[in-house]
A and B are shown apart, each in its own frame.
Chain A
Amino acid sequence: MKLGFFVPNLLSWSGEDKVIGGLERYSWALIELMQELGWDVEVNQNGNSDWKQEVNGIIIKGHEVARYSLEAVVEKINSSYGRVLYGSLLQKPIYYKSNSIVISHGVWWDGKNIAREQRERMIKICQEAIAQNALTISCDYNFLNVMRAISPEVTDKIRVIPNFVNINKFKKVERDSTDTIKILYPRRLDYCRGIDIFIEIAKDLISQRSNLEILMAVDKNHPDFNQQLKPFLSLNQVREFNPQFEDMPDIYQQADIVVIPSRYSEGSSFSCLEAMASGKAIVASDVGGLTNLIINGYNGILVPPRKTPITRAINFLLDNHSARQKLGENAFKTARSFTLERWKKQWAGYLKAIYATGDG
């Protein structure tokens, strides 16, 4: 059966490049699953012209009407397919086709830079999206609990499937013991990811300790920001990587400590799950879905996204080899309950329940 899958930017607007991000990785995994289950999936997305591509045997259509409005793209898809799956909860008030699934990737409006009116509008949009769809699949329990506190009357239709990690790719490898302890920041160069907090902390640590190295696995999406960071990135104890996704397992393995200092807009972060599967000692912020992945003091350290508590946590780990070992070991063990197979099995159940019958 034909199923239209809407993801705003699986490819770039021109259709030429794959976009690399958590939402896109999520979408590819789901597309793969839908194919395995025998659905004829077509991806639909924003475009700067009307185009059609085939990637990994999947038809992807770009829609030029996106230049005018997101709503218009969705309208077009709604009228072209019997059934539609919405790959992300859209930040506009739109009509969802009845008896559909929409995916929530976490609370995204919890940043200080988001004005009150904007925040209230986003909440309303969530309420409406949840009410319109047969199911909202959330990647964390946090979104569900926040919405429960706002509109418990709609949240009966939310189901949670935490994100996954491929434990065949991300493995625990004992690091050769060296005197140098390596701290990895594996996220986008983005204010919401707490990059500025991390850099401040890293600078201080470098000035105080000679036996540590900072590993920056960062993107090149923001040339200006990269330029601005140059002095930091060229410091002696800092190493920069601009990895492809395939390189990440190896980069995690080089690290002893992984820091995830997200400020806001966080779900059940792939980076955090990958660091867990790699058996690393993790310092994560107590934001969004990270609170559903880390139990403070068991499989990582959970602190508010501020300089003092994060510094304290990192220093504690730097001085405590056995704590790093213990937290890393438990992170490795807990990652085993977030496997890709588990994710697929849970998703398959909901896909069959909603899309296996009729045309809506």
Chain B
Amino acid sequence: MKKKIGILTSNFFDPSGQRLIYGGAERYGIELSKLLLELDFKIEWWQVGSGWQKELMEGVMVKSIPITESPYETMPDLNYAFLEKAVDIDYAIYFVTFLAYPQVKEKSISLSHGIYWDYPKFDDIIGGERNRQEWLRRLRIALSGPEKIVSVDTATIQWVKATWTGLEHKFEYIPNFVDLSKFNSQGRTPVLAKKPIKVIYPRRLTSVRGINETVRTAEIMTNLNPNIEFHIVGRGHQDQVEKDLMKWSSEHERVYYYWKPPELMAELYKEMDIALIPTKAAEGTSLSCLEAMSCGCVVISSYVGGLSNLIFDGYNGLLIKPKAKNITKSISSLIGDPILAQKLSKNGINVAKTFSLLKWKESWKKLISEVFN
């Protein structure tokens, strides 16, 4: 008989069950579901919600549990309810590390999408030193339970090693993936070979992703250079943010704001010369970074989190401190040296092949055969 895996997440759909949240983690969830089905498991997702059930893909249900409390940035009641309700599962995957607090199914794997607390405001969110200590205590318990923890970058593993030395042995570094059959450089023209020069920001419109630095850069650069275009491509978390950006872009020449579903991004990347990943915090091995690189865009990226696992500064992209001044300087240096830009683009295409979806699947497959047996 087929074995069944329960996957616990916080929000695959938004808590009302109406809207599929389609960020990097959710795309990861869909690929993981497909892989587990290929490996002949039955799977079932659980998340926060009023009790609704929905089909994610053929044969894969998402069930919800009416729990919303998250003391100390953990969800112990959700964790507990999952164990109690999903009684027929053989194995569990905790899709976010803290969901493994306080108790896990004996045969379980958890997943870290990167360090998400590396910005000063987090101190305020967590609410002071005592709360921080309690949060860390809980996080440690969450990391102790599962048999293996997949980390999408090395920064998380190294933080654990520098904080709770020894615990890093639970970790398995499986960097994020790019689907080379969709995201590749076939049919693209060399970067910076024709005018106008097109710069894309393919991220959500949030402060930690560097939207404000990007807006500032776009204002400076489009003023300086009549041959440059900026394409800001991504959703905001609130309608107002999207409206504001639309208004802003309509007031500026050669600045465009829109969004596209992931499957249409490849064609867009192929038209772009430069991709900006100016993340300020909370970053793993960004799918956008890998996909833009794979399609031949020259990536100007910050060094935060897993990004320094993907890019060697000056080899397959530029790694910078994410400030408008630095982004502006980097774009100008690429425009001034198209030979360098083309080298970075070419090396990026080659490096991206190392992160193929196929290889990602192999790594997961091996891990699953070790833990779920």
Binding site for B on A (CB under 8 A): 107, 109-112, 114, 119, 123, 141-142, 144-146, 148-150, 152-153, 159-160, 162, 264, 286-288, 291-293, 295-298, 302, 304, 306, 330, 333-334, 336-338, 342
Shortest 10 CB-CB contacts between residues of A and residues of B: A141-B308, A291-B154, A337-B315, A145-B155, A148-B118, A298-B354, A337-B314, A110-B162, A149-B159, A153-B120
Using an 8 Å CB-CB cutoff, how does the interface string of B258-273 with A read, 1 for contact, 0 for none?
0000000000000000
Tell which of B115, B162, B173 touches A286, judged by Cβ atoms closer than 8 Å.
B173
Contact B309 A291 (CB under 8 A): yes
B337 to nearest A CB, angstroms?
A: 14
Question: Known contacts A148-B115, A159-B321, A291-B154: does B165 contact A112 (CB below 8 Å)?
Answer: yes
Closest to B314 in A: A337
Contact B161 A119 (CB under 8 A): no
Question: Known contacts A112-B166, A144-B303, A334-B315: does B158 contact A291 (CB below 8 Å)?
Answer: yes
Question: Known contacts A109-B162, A110-B161: does B119 contact A152 (CB below 8 Å)?
Answer: yes
Contact B154 A162 (CB under 8 A): no
Q: Which of B249-285 contact A (CB under 8 A)?
A: 281
In the assembled complex, 30 residue pairs joining A and B whose CB atoms fall closer than 8 Å, in A order, are A107-B158, A112-B166, A119-B162, A119-B163, A119-B165, A123-B162, A141-B319, A142-B154, A145-B158, A145-B304, A152-B118, A152-B120, A152-B281, A153-B120, A162-B313, A264-B161, A264-B165, A286-B154, A287-B158, A288-B158, A292-B308, A293-B312, A295-B351, A296-B354, A298-B354, A302-B154, A306-B169, A330-B350, A334-B315, A337-B313
Contact A145 B305 (CB under 8 A): yes
Q: Which of B151-193 contact A (CB under 8 A)?
A: 154-155, 157-159, 161-163, 165-166, 168-169, 173, 175
Is there a chain A Cβ closer than 8 Å to B248's Cβ? no
User: Which residues of chain B have C-beta atoms less than 8 A from A336's C-beta?
Assistant: 315
Contact B118 A160 (CB under 8 A): no
How long is the Cα–Cα vector from A162 to B155 in the complex, in angstroms?
16
Is there a chain A Cβ closer than 8 Å to B359's Cβ? yes
Closest to B168 in A: A304
User: Which residues of chain B have C-beta atoms less than 8 A from A107's C-beta?
Assistant: 158, 162
User: Which residues of chain A have C-beta atoms less than 8 A from B315's C-beta?
Assistant: 333-334, 336-337
Question: Known contacts A107-B158, A162-B313, A337-B313: does B354 contact A297 (CB below 8 Å)?
Answer: yes
User: Which residues of chain B have C-beta atoms less than 8 A from A291's C-beta?
Assistant: 154-155, 158, 308-309
Contact B161 A287 (CB under 8 A): yes
How long is the Cα–Cα vector from A276 to B263 in the complex, in angstroms?
37
Question: Known contacts A159-B321, A302-B173, A337-B312: does B359 contact A114 (CB below 8 Å)?
Answer: no
Given contacts A142-B155, A295-B312, 18 further A-B contacts (CB under 8 A): A112-B165, A123-B162, A141-B308, A145-B115, A149-B117, A149-B118, A153-B120, A286-B173, A287-B161, A291-B158, A292-B308, A292-B309, A293-B312, A296-B354, A297-B354, A298-B354, A334-B315, A337-B315
Closest to A145 in B: B155
Is there a chain A Cβ closer than 8 Å to B122's Cβ? yes
A1 to nearest B CB, angstroms?
A: 27
How long is the Cα–Cα vector from A284 to B321 in the complex, in angstroms?
27
User: Which residues of chain B have C-beta atoms less than 8 A from A296's C-beta?
Assistant: 173, 175, 354
Is there a chain A Cβ closer than 8 Å to B310's Cβ? yes
How long is the Cα–Cα vector from A169 to B155 in the complex, in angstroms?
32
User: Which residues of chain A have C-beta atoms less than 8 A from B123's C-beta?
Assistant: 153
Closest to B118 in A: A148
B4 to nearest A CB, angstroms?
A: 30
Contact A146 B309 (CB under 8 A): no
Contact A145 B351 (CB under 8 A): no
How long is the Cα–Cα vector from A153 to B309 in the complex, in angstroms?
23
Contact A145 B354 (CB under 8 A): no
How long is the Cα–Cα vector from A279 to B350 in the complex, in angstroms?
18
Q: Which of B301-353 contact A (CB under 8 A)?
A: 303-305, 308-310, 312-315, 319, 321, 347, 350-351
B239 to nearest A CB, angstroms?
A: 29
A65 to nearest B CB, angstroms?
A: 32
Contact B159 A295 (CB under 8 A): no
B205 to nearest A CB, angstroms?
A: 21
Closest to A154 in B: B120
User: Which residues of chain A have C-beta atoms less than 8 A from B354's C-beta?
Assistant: 295-298
Tell which of A123, A146, A287, A302 touches B155, judged by Cβ atoms closer than 8 Å.
A146
Question: Known contacts A119-B165, A159-B321: does B303 contact A295 (CB below 8 Å)?
Answer: no
Closest to A288 in B: B158
A293 to nearest B CB, angstroms?
A: 8
B242 to nearest A CB, angstroms?
A: 28
A315 to nearest B CB, angstroms?
A: 16
Contact B165 A111 (CB under 8 A): yes
User: Which residues of chain A have C-beta atoms less than 8 A from B161's C-beta?
Assistant: 110, 264, 287
Closest to B353 in A: A298
How long is the Cα–Cα vector from A295 to B350 in the complex, in angstroms?
12
User: Which residues of chain B have C-beta atoms less than 8 A from A333's C-beta?
Assistant: 315, 347
Closest to A141 in B: B308
How long is the Cα–Cα vector from A141 to B309 in the complex, in angstroms?
9
Contact B115 A142 (CB under 8 A): no
How long is the Cα–Cα vector from A336 to B316 in the complex, in angstroms?
12
